[in-house]
Structures are given as structure tokens and as C-alpha cells.
Structure 1
């Protein structure tokens, strides 16, 4: 009897320990989430109401072609380790005449998921200094999804293009959260393209698009009208994003419809394979 009671006490303590660990993990997760939202909120406010330096101040900075070229080339490699040094260098030069070149290097950057937040901060700095930066940047990033029929696009490695689309989509979503991208309709156009029935003819393209749509659904739950557990306290932040009810309805319907279509296609192919096996 004593052994049974002792075992029960041990089991109870272990259960309590597990619950405490889960509670602590949840607390840590929510605290980290709060920190992230607070950072986005602060950056969003600064980006929506930028106090840009005037022309007189910019003229006091280094405007030489050589120095500016050296600095903007570094925008092709943005990561967290180099971010602070890069931002200090960007603050020391006058890029007024080199904005389009700076955008080109950012659009060419091979960003990893871990680099996205660093890129957001760099883009925010440039947005807050140069009025023409953001329109140029958004146009450049959208070309990743709508490149036209250029020779470079046709010859590019499909895997590289898929990776580029994924990192660009992540960056665009984060830029939207912090107020650099203000119009959610750009995502409507992207999702329309990704869910187009035309792409179903290309198996690799379909797999790529499924991956991209999954990225959009995970990172942009708000666009679908979803709110994960723990986000209720930040309703104000999400309300300020101004995604309309109609847009949320579109995103949700587009993803659901595409899922159903792809599932039906896979089932059809599976039936065909089974018939071929039976014939052999």
C-alpha cells in the first residue's frame, strides 16, 4: 500500500512538473511574441510618420559615387550579423541619387528566413530617409512574382526562383506589418497568380506554389481572418493593418479552392496510376 501511495505521489509530482514546464514555455512564448509585436508597432509608427532629413542635412553626408557605390553593394548581403554596421554606413552617406541602385541590390539579395528581420530594419531606415525608396522597392520586389517573359527568367534555375519567391513573399509580408507596404491589394494579385489554374499544368510549379501559399498562410494568418491563441491582446496592432473583410474573404476562399483543386488532381492521378498498375 505504501509503495502504491509513494508511486502515486511521484506520478502526481511528475504531472505537476510537466504542467509547470508547459506553463513556463507558454509564458516565454507569449513574452517573446509581445516583444516582437512591440518592435513591429514601434517600427510601424516610425515608418508611417517618417521624419525624413532635409536636403541641406543630406548634403553634409558623403555623396561621392565611389563611397555610395561601396556602401550600396553591401545591400546584396543583408544579415543580422552585419546589420548594425551596414546601417551605420547607410547613415553616413547621401543616397539621394542612388536610390534605384540601392533597391536593385536589395532585390537581388539572397535572403534566408533568419535575414528577413534585418532586411526589414535596413529597408525601414532607407524608407525613413528617402521618399522615393519604398515605391521603387515594392515595384522591384513584385517583379520577382511578375517578371514578364525575359530571357533571364526563362533560363533561371527553377529551384532558385522558388527560393527567391519564398524569401520575397516573407519580406513583403513583414514590410506590410511595419508600414512600408501599405496596400494589401498587392497580396491579392500575388495570391491570384499563385492559385491560377494555369500553373496546375506544371507539377513543379504547383509544388512551388503550394509551398508559397503555405508560407503566406503561416506568416500572414491575419490576412485570412485568423488569430492564433495569445494574440488577442494585440487586436489594436492588427486593426491598424487595414485589410478589408472582402480581402480576407478572398484570401481564405482562394487558398481553400486551390487546396481542393490540387487534392482532386492528386486523387485523379492516383487513380490513373492504380489503373496502370492493374493493367501491368
Structure 2
């Protein structure tokens, strides 16, 4: 092989690739095994399509008793060891489900020998149902396929009844009550579906695959978004069906490629192998021959007609699409729960038990559905859908890119990104931010009695009542005015006022001498006394409006206490209000008594005035 150098002019000889002779031998052996597998499939199908059934005269010579045939049916329904195949020799080629003649002393060999001695022409439907329901595990499918092939080659009406029995055995007539029953049902349906596919490939059920299409369509009709367990079960069952050789024969999909240790250029007939060792040249030559033989067998293998294969493939694609959508939905829900669990674990410690249980439930459901999807993709020879891989990569990037902030909250999450920017994203969400920064109004949430508001109001009312009492006490018991009311009577007391009145009625000789100066000299004396009396009367009258104001204040305070008592309903506050009310009423009574005394004083002053006037007239 030649190539141009860096300048693009001088041809240079490329070094020959290094090839291990052992790798060439292993690859040739794999190609030979796969070719033998295809040859065995072809032989089994020929045996089930090109055969000669025994005549009716030959069947009449066999035992047709009900007892022995019923025992055979019961033995078939039991499955288990009777369907186990003997271990094949190590050098024997693989077979398609073990179809064909069985030799040895295994359970299936003994069962076939017993079938050969009986005439089951009248019990074909029972035998078909028994064989369809017989395999309880996938390891028993090969034995059931051997029995089905034997009965198909003896009785013409076995194949159509066997197809109907397979569809009936696959259907779910009763929902499982326990988890164990659900597992048993799943194993039986998986074995039944696998048996139906391999029976079609082996040529037992003929070209009619309508029963298989009905099974696949039932799997595709699952409510993917609602029932995750049913979605995983349907996907797993479909994966059991479409494994090779069913994938190549019924769906017309290519088989798994066999990796080769040499480039395709070395496998060409005109390839230059002069630089290779002799054992490598021989290995490459053997590999070429095996490749050509395998291609010839692949071209000769049986495949379902394109129209029927398209129907099956459409149902398979619908199942794959439904499982992909369910997987994406479960992944999204799992990420939301996981984000919430992580947030609570880093902000408040351990997350709630209910949330942790929900996370575990969703995680197990997602893992089960994903495992079923992986099995289906492997059976179909495909990779996981790109949507699933992208979603998982995005979720992994979010988890790997998360970093802890200074208070232990994961940054990079939607909650932290939406947090307020004023505090630098310190808080995880708005709830945490409000908890630490928004101070609640205690007055609107706590009763006023606990905060002392009622006591403060009661204290204010007490002070108002005390002020009113002090105002009432400033008025003398006889109703005279305080000394500071008039400049002419400063320092005068009610006693002095009374003495002044008596002096006016009975003047002393000195006063009489002073007053003998005539009427003009007496006038000022009388005017002064009268002025003092008038000021005293005015002072007492001025205190009356103040007492009325204090009484109004007292009544307002009492009314406020009553309202506070009705609104709060506190017994202790009510008792205090009642005591205050009684005190106020007592003060009001005293104030009324003081008012009566003031009126008596005014009457006494008026009477003194009258007596003074009479006395003056007498003089």
C-alpha cells in the first residue's frame, strides 16, 4: 500500500497493520458457529414443513384410551422436569430452541416416546392447550417446542389450535392478588411469548402470525404514563420475544455484527498480504471463506413476508416509543424529588420520611423501567434512545455541577437561581428568606393580654381617675375656692372668710372709729368685704365645670374598660374593670356631695349678705 508523504509528492509504503493470528482464529470460529446456527434453523424448519404424517390406519393401531391420554395431558400441564432437555454434547452445533429429534434419557425424550405410543387424535385441543401452558420458565421453552413439533408432525389440526392456545395462555384473565402470583404470571407470559415466536420461526404454526401480532399489540396498549410497573413488564416481555432468531426472521431486522480483528481492506480478494507472516495470511484466508459461507446462509434463511413483518415491527416500535416517553417522564419526576430531598437535606437536616420514601419508590420504578428498556434495545440491536441519554446526561451534569455555598446550600439549582439577588443568593428559596428576614407582627398574632396591652390601658384609666380625684380634692369641703383665685384674697382660708363676714356684722370699736368718717369711708370697707365674698363665690362656681369634665372623663374611662372586657373576654381584666368602675362611682358620689356642700355654702353667703344689708340699714 502506498501513500503520499507530507509534501504530497513522494509515494511512501505504509507499514502493514499488526494482526494476531489467534484473533483471526477466534473470529473465524465465531463466524462458523453462527453459520451452523443458521443451518440448524433451516433444518428444523424443513423438518416441520416437509414431513409425512402417519396414516389413519397406523394411528388406529396405537392406544387411544382416555386414561393414558388424560395422564399425558396432566403431565404436560405440570411442566417442570418433563420439559427439560438433555445436555447436548460440547461439539454439537446450537439449535433453534432445541427443535428436532431428541435422543437420550431426558424428560422430553421420555415424554416423546410416550406420545409415540398413543393415539391423541381425539385430544388434540387438550394437548395444544397443555403444551401452550406447560413452560413456566424460559429454560422449559425448548422442551415444549420439541413436543409441539412432534405433535405438529403427527396431527394436521394441531398447529392452528396451538396458535389459539398460545394467545389464550398469554392473556391475563385474573389480576394477581399477591406479589408472588404476579411474578409467576410474568414468568408464564414471558415463556408463552417466547414459545410463540420460536414456534413461528421453526415452522410449527405456519406463516400465520396474527396471534403474535395480537400479543405485541396488547403489550403496546399499556397506559405508559400511569402504570410504571405494567410499562416495565410489557417492555421486558417484548424483549424476550424479539431476541434472535425471532428478530431476523419475524421483524426482518439485521443480526448482531461479529467484530473482526482486521480491516475490511485486508479481506478483499486483491488485498496485498506480502508483508504479513504466513500464519496471518492463512488466518485471513480462512476468515474470508467463513464470511462468504455465512453470507450465503443469511441469504437462504427464512423470513416473514414484508407486509406481516411491517405489522409486527409497527407494534414493536409503538411499544418502544411508549416506553421511551414513560422513561423520560419518570426521570423528570425523579429529578424533581431528588432535588427536593437534596435541598431539604442541606437546609434542614434529614428530609421528611414521606419524601424519602417517595424518592425510593420513584427511584426503583425508574431503574426497573430503564432495565427493561435496556433489555429491549439489546434484543433489537439498538442503543438507548438519544432522548433518554440526553436527559440522563443533563441530570448528571446538574448533580456534578452543584456546589455548596457559604451556608451549605447547593448552588446551581433552580431554587437557588430564583432566590433574591439582594442577599447574594444566600438563602435557598423565598420561604427561607422570609423566615430569616421578614419579622412577623407579634401584636397581630398574640393576644393583647399576654403582651400587657390591657394592663397598659387599665393603668392609663387609673391615672385619669387619679387626676380627676386630685381635681375634686382641690375643692374645699365647704365649697370655697382655692387661695390663688384672687389677688385680693391671697392666703385666705374658708375660716378667714367666715371671720371677715362676722366682722362685717359686728365691727370692733376701732373699726367703728375708722368707719365714723361718714358714708364715704364706710363704702370702701363694705365694698372690700363684698368683693372678697364675690371672689370666693366665683372660685367655687369655676370649679363646677372642671368637676363635670372629670366626671365625663371618668365615664369615658369606665366605658372603655367595659369595651375592653367585652372584646378580650378576660376574666381578670373584667374584675379589674369592675373594681375601677366601683371606684369611679364612689368618686362620683363624693363629687355630688361636694357639689351639694358648695350649694349650701353659696346659700350661706347669700344669707350673710342679706343680714349685712339689714344691719347697715338699721345703722
The question of a shared fold, defined as TM-score above 0.5 by the shorter chain, is answered with yes
- Any unmatched runs of 5+ in structure 1? 1-14
Aligned to 2:84: 79
Question: Structure 1 residues 72 and 162 mapped into 2: Cα distance closer, same or farther (>3 Å)?
Answer: same
Of structures 1 and 2, the larger Rg is shown by 2
Contact 1:224–1:251 at 8 Å: present in 2 too? no
| CA distance in structure 2 between the aligned counterparts of 1:112 and 1:131, rounded to whole angstroms | 28
| CA distance in structure 1 between the aligned counterparts of 2:156 and 2:131, rounded to whole angstroms | 17
Given candidates 227, 236, 242, the residue that maps to 2:305 is 242
Query: Partner of 1:93: helix, strand, or coil?
Result: coil
1:130 is displaced (CA, Å) by 1.1
- Any unmatched runs of 5+ in structure 2? 1-18, 86-105, 259-293, 345-350, 352-619
TM-score, with structure 1 as normaliser: 0.81
Question: Structure 1 residues 207 and 248 mapped into 2: Cα distance closer, same or farther (>3 Å)?
Answer: closer
Aligned to 1:176: 200
Cα deviations across residues 204-224 of structure 1 (Å, max 9, x unaligned)?
212211211222332332244
Contact 1:225–1:248 at 8 Å: present in 2 too? no
State the superposition RMSD in angstroms.
2.7
| CA distance in structure 2 between the aligned counterparts of 1:84 and 1:28, rounded to whole angstroms | 31
Question: Structure 1 residues 67 and 187 mapped into 2: Cα distance closer, same or farther (>3 Å)?
Answer: closer
| CA distance in structure 1 between the aligned counterparts of 2:122 and 2:128, rounded to whole angstroms | 12
Aligned to 2:247: 221
| CA distance in structure 2 between the aligned counterparts of 1:123 and 1:143, rounded to whole angstroms | 16
1:249 is displaced (CA, Å) by 4.6
Say if 2:107 is the partner of 1:106: no
What are the within-5 Å matches in structure 2 for residues 41-80 of structure 1? 41-76=42-77, 77=79, 78-80=83-85
What are the within-5 Å matches in structure 2 for residues 1-280 of structure 1? 16=20, 20=22, 22-76=23-77, 77=79, 78-80=83-85, 81-147=106-172, 150-151=173-174, 153-155=175-177, 157-181=181-205, 182-219=207-244, 220-222=246-248, 223-228=250-255, 229=257, 232=295, 233-239=297-303, 241-244=304-307, 246-247=310-311, 249-251=313-315, 253-277=317-341, 278=343, 280=351
TM-score, with structure 2 as normaliser: 0.39
1:144 is displaced (CA, Å) by 3.0
| CA distance in structure 2 between the aligned counterparts of 1:254 and 1:246, rounded to whole angstroms | 12
Query: Partner of 2:121: helix, strand, or coil?
Result: coil
Which structure has more relative contact order (CA 8 Å, sep 6+)? It is 1
Query: Partner of 1:51: helix, strand, or coil?
Result: coil
Cα deviations across residues 91-140 of structure 1 (Å, max 9, x unaligned)?
11100111122223223323433332222121011011112212222111
Question: Structure 1 residues 199 and 96 mapped into 2: Cα distance closer, same or farther (>3 Å)?
Answer: farther
Mean Cα deviation higher: 99-108 or 117-126: 99-108
For this pair of structures, how many residues does the alignment match? 260
Question: Structure 1 residues 101 and 252 mapped into 2: Cα distance closer, same or farther (>3 Å)?
Answer: closer
